[in-house]
Amino acid sequence: MHIVVERELELRLILSPERSVPVPARLGYRSDDPYAVHITFHVDSAFPVHWTFARDLLIEGVFRPCGQGDVRVWPSKADGRSVVLMALTSPDGDALLEAPAAQVSAWLERTLLAVPPGSEGGQLGLDDGLAELLAQ
């Protein structure tokens, strides 16, 4: 049985230091893909945007700056609130998104309860598959 942990929330797309727009999003985690988190932006639109990156990157980014290349994550403050910033880069463009830290942290905690750190490999069934191959 696979576990799915989802959370809908509103992110802010930072356009400039003075301007941002709301972006509906869904955080997703699946125990059958235990190393990854999935974020879908524009959830109710005809063309949602999907991003997938390491769960560890988001966990670390809640506490300190991390990542390089296409995904960077770091904690910050906005209007006195704790937020998590995510800088995403693709050939189609760049985006800086702000997420409420408390909601992201609570969701991450649920993913860690579903699949504790260090136990991800056991979720993939590699040992069973290897045993089956060697038995033949």
CATH number at residue 14: 2.30.31.20
3-class SS at 49?
Answer: strand
Q: What is the mean pLDDT of residues 17-29?
A: 94
Q: What is the pLDDT of residues 64-78, one digit of tens each?
A: 999 998 999 999 999
d(CA 41, CA 72): 17
CB 67 within 8 A of CB 82: no
In a domain, 43, yes or no: yes
- Would you say residue 120 has pLDDT above 80? no
> How many independent structural domains does the chain possess?
1
* % of the chain with per-residue pLDDT over 70: 88
Strand bridging mode 36-41 / 19-30: antiparallel
Residue 101's domain spans which residues?
A: 4-116
Q: C-alpha 63: how far from its chain's center?
A: 14
Q: What is the mean pLDDT of residues 100-111?
A: 97
Q: What is the pLDDT of residues 76-105, one digit of tens each?
A: 999 899 999 999 999 988 999 999 999 999
Could you tell me which of 27, 30, 1, 24 has the C-alpha nearest to residue 12? 24
In a domain, 14, yes or no: yes
In a domain, 123, yes or no: no
In a domain, 98, yes or no: yes
> So what's the pLDDT on residue 125?
60
- Would you say residue 130 has pLDDT above 60? no
d(CA 83, CA 90): 23
3-class SS at 82?
Answer: strand
